[in-house]
Amino acid sequence: MLRKSLTFILLTILFSAQKPREIGIKDLFKDSFHIGVAVNAQQVSGKEPKALAVLAEHFNSLSPENGLKWEKVHPKPEEYDFEFGDAYVALGEKMKAFTIGHCLVWHQQTPNWVFEDESGKMLNKEDLISKMEDHIAVVAGRYKGKIDGWDVVNEAFNEDGSFRESKWYNVAGKDFIKAAFRKAHEVDPNAELYYNDYNVWKASKRKGILELAKEMKSEGIRVDAIGMQGHYMLGSPTLEEIEQGIIEIAEAGFKVVITELDVDVLPRPNNAQGADLNINFANSPEYNPFVNGISAEAEAKLAQRYADLFQLFHKHKDKISRVTLWGLHDGRSWLNNFPVRGRTNYPLLFDRDLKLKEGIFEKLREVAED
Ligand code: XIL
């Protein structure tokens, strides 16, 4: 009798210990692509309750939402701040995650002094490029071997495929882009290097991007993938437009990375598409309809949109190496403030309590098993 109950207890312990671990999003797509997420300082430092556990359970790639942008990591000419970056790469190592650097060169979140000499005069091309190269050497150099892929240049094109007239471009022309990729490769030869932008689904914009990427490749400059940011809305762009983008990037000889996926469920003024940070509108009830919770209708549309997007990505898993969500949960999404300030948005896979949206997860499971 005693022996029987002991066996029973032992078996129960053994069985519960072997209970299969819960399947995370990353496990659903483990044979297809990495599943990434952009993290902020609170999450990286473990100050946000539950965040580290959710990260470990569901994601196998990390991106830094703001902490490695120029204004954060290099706020003054002689001053670098690596507090975030060091904690970030340590977390990436602990999670054995594919760890992304974002971003080395951009026209946003870059201090004005970068473009000026000590007296406030605009730098000439040579001096600006050399300042940029120093920055890349220090930042990418510090994380050599710890960051697996860098967004080297971010958002250098206009919607019509011409070069954005940023200070970088106005002073240095397109050579600043080439120099940035060259330097990044020299500093960390094993890191993957990406050109990253929004609205790459637009044929006109993509044409400009791919022309330059091919030109760089023909000059022996390393470019591994084109980042399609993936800041989408419920009804736009169409799946066909996104698919065309994926196919053309692959045909041009580059991998695709979906770098900043989120789905805006709120109405946008003038249907403003994409992620141009210069666009910003004042809040109004018309643009902020779900202050007390998302409607069942919008929630169902969101789940379907995610299912459709992941089905498309899964179909092209031979071309796509990573899909990264731009934020861990709705409460911390930048879409609460863009393109309209102070809204209540629901664009991600986890809600404000860090609970996985089960409706979306079930649909993703179906997509992955298809
Ligand atoms: C956003 C961040 O999410 C915000 O917190 C910040 O205030 C502005 O930048 N394209 C990019 C990202 O490449 O770096 C931007 O991130 C969103 C648009």
Sketch out the chain's domains with CATH numbers: 2-369 (3.20.20.80)
Whether the bond into 237 is cis, omega within 30 of 0? yes
Nearest CA to ligand 1 atom 4: 334
Is ligand 1 within 6 A of the CB of residue 279?
no
Is ligand 1 within 6 A of the CB of residue 324?
no
Residue 47: phi, psi to the nearest 5?
Answer: -80, -20
- Eight-state DSSP code of residue 22: P
Q: What tens digit of pLDDT does each residue of 300-357 get?
A: 999 999 999 999 999 999 999 999 999 999 999 999 999 999 999 999 999 999 999 9
Q: What pLDDT score does 304 carry?
A: 98
Nearest CA to ligand 1 atom 7: 334
Mutate to test the pocket of ligand 1, among 39, 260, 332 (most ligand atoms within 8 A of CB): 260
Q: What pLDDT score does 4 carry?
A: 56
pLDDT at 70 over 80: yes
Is ligand 1 within 6 A of the CB of residue 63?
no
Largest alpha-carbon pair distance within the chain?
90
Nearest CA to ligand 1 atom 3: 334
Q: What band does 282 get if pLDDT is binned at 50, 70 and 90? A: confident
Q: How far is the CA of 334 from the centre of ligand 1 (A)?
A: 7
Average pLDDT value over all residues in the chain: 94
Q: What pLDDT score does 320 carry?
A: 98
Is ligand 1 within 6 A of the CB of residue 154?
yes
Is ligand 1 within 6 A of the CB of residue 65?
yes
Q: What tens digit of pLDDT does each residue of 308-323 get?
A: 999 999 999 999 999 9
At 62, which helix (H) or strand (E)?
strand 61-64
Query: What's the mean pLDDT in 133-162?
Result: 98
Give the integer Cα–Cα distance in Å for 345 and 331.
Answer: 8
User: What residues contact residue 362 under an 8 Å CB cut-off, 6+ apart?
Assistant: none
Q: Which of 61-70, 82-91, 216-225, 278-287 has the lowest mean pLDDT?
A: 278-287
* pTM (two decimals): 0.94
Ligand 1 closest atom vs CA 275: 18
The dihedral built from the CA positions of residue 152, 86, 189 and 55, taken in this order, carries a sign that is negative
Q: How far is the CA of 93 from the centre of ligand 1 (A)?
A: 24
Q: What pLDDT score does 92 carry?
A: 98
Give the integer Cα–Cα distance in Å for 96 and 353.
Answer: 26
Q: How far is the CA of 326 from the centre of ligand 1 (A)?
A: 9
Query: What residues are annotated to the active site?
Result: 260
**CA nearest 257: which of 338, 175, 317?**
317
Q: How far is the CA of 30 from the centre of ligand 1 (A)?
A: 27
Give the integer Cα–Cα distance in Å for 260 and 101.
Answer: 13
Is ligand 1 within 6 A of the CB of residue 336?
no
Q: How far is the CA of 162 from the centre of ligand 1 (A)?
A: 22
Nearest CA to ligand 1 atom 1: 334
pLDDT at 194 over 80: yes
Query: What's the mean pLDDT in 202-212?
Result: 98
Is ligand 1 within 6 A of the CB of residue 302?
no
Give the integer Cα–Cα distance in Å for 370 and 365.
Answer: 9
**CA nearest 162: which of 209, 197, 195, 201?**
209
Nearest CA to ligand 1 atom 18: 275
Give the integer Cα–Cα distance in Å for 207 and 213.
Answer: 10
- Eight-state DSSP code of residue 114: G
Give the integer Cα–Cα distance in Å for 353 and 350.
Answer: 8
- Eight-state DSSP code of residue 157: B
pLDDT at 214 over 50: yes
Q: What pLDDT score does 170 carry?
A: 98
